[in-house]
């Protein structure tokens, strides 16, 4: 990404980014991990807009679907709660992830920087977004929503990702805690 931004020497560029994050951390009193993420996101936006990547990979929000790598199970659950189709498997390897994402026309969300170096991602065949591995789930979700300009939709099941549907209270009575059963009628 530093090369895409025009850095002639990646090591010097990395040193510059870290120094910038340190200065931002000192002035804003935020932890270094948070300011490194901010500096990275600014550079990422600059690179994406410079090479036209965003224009080629952004899908209309109605069809945006995701495949989260094995380290992003929590993010997948919350994307589902926000109404998005997000798949996740705890032990999927990179080759399977790439193959399945391409076959199902899904955007890959990953914390694996080496995965971002794969040709199909680098050449924009498969859309992908790298998330800093130090981000907590709420900030991961915020970053994905901001990056793809997503709005909230009808929630999906956080476990399986299917659309939610109303069911009769009596059909799920055995799965409802007793106190909840007394005061809630819609399931």
**CATH number of 158's domain:** 3.40.50
Distance CA 35, CA 39 (A): 6
* Rounded percentage of the chain residues whose pLDDT exceeds 90: 34
Q: How far apart are alpha carbons 103 and 126 in whole angstroms?
A: 10
Residues 157 and 88 in one domain: yes
pLDDT(53) > 50: no
Task: List the domain range (segments joined by +) for residue 63.
Answer: 57-187
Q: Are residues 31 and 71 in the same domain?
A: no
Residue 42 and residue 62 in one domain: no
C-beta contacts of 73-77 below 8 A and 24+ residues apart? 74/137, 74/140, 75/109, 75/131, 75/137, 75/140, 75/141, 75/144, 76/161, 77/158, 77/159
One domain for residues 84 and 19 = no
Question: Same domain, yes or no, for 42 and 107?
Answer: no
| Domain co-membership, 103 together with 89 | yes
- What's the whole-number average pLDDT of the chain? 82
**Could you tell me if 114 and 140 lie in one domain?**
yes
Same domain, 14 and 100: no
Tell me: do 167 and 76 sit in the same domain: yes
- What's this model's pTM, rounded to 2 decimal places? 0.66
The confidence band for 45, taking pLDDT boundaries of 50, 70 and 90, is low
Task: Spell out the residues 6+ positions from residue 17 whose beta carbon is closer than 8 angstroms to its own.
Answer: 2, 36, 39, 40, 43
Shared-domain flag, residues 63 and 153: yes
Least confident of 16-20, 22-26, 50-54, 146-150: 50-54
CA geometry: angle 142, 128, 34, nearest 5 deg = 40
HSE of 151 in the Cβ direction (CA atoms, 13 Å)? 5
Number of domains in the chain: 2
d(CA 187, CA 180): 11
49 pLDDT exceeds 60? no
User: In terms of domains, do 10 and 89 share one?
Assistant: no
Give the end of a domain, one of 33, 51, 69: 51
115 and 147 housed in the same domain = yes
């Amino acid at each position: 990404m530093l090369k895409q931004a025009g850095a002639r020497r990646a090591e010097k560029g990395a040193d510059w980014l870290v120094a910038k994050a340190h200065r931002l951390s000192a002035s804003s009193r935020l932890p270094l991990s948070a300011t490194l993420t901010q500096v990275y996101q600014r550079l990422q936006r600059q690179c994406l807009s410079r090479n036209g990547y965003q224009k080629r990979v952004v899908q209309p929000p109605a069809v945006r679907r995701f495949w989260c790598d094995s380290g992003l199970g929590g993010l997948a659950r919350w994307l589902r709660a926000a109404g998005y189709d997000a798949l996740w498997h705890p032990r999927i390897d990179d080759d399977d992830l790439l193959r399945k994402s391409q076959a199902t026309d899904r955007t890959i969300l990953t914390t694996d920087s080496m995965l971002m170096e794969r040709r199909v991602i680098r050449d924009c065949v498969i859309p992908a977004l790298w998330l800093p591995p130090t981000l907590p789930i709420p900030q991961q979700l915020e970053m994905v929503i901001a990056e793809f300009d997503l709005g909230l939709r009808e929630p999906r099941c956080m476990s399986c990702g299917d659309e939610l549907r109303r069911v009769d209270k009596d059909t799920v009575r055995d799965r409802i805690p007793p106190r909840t059963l007394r005061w809630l009628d819609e399931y």
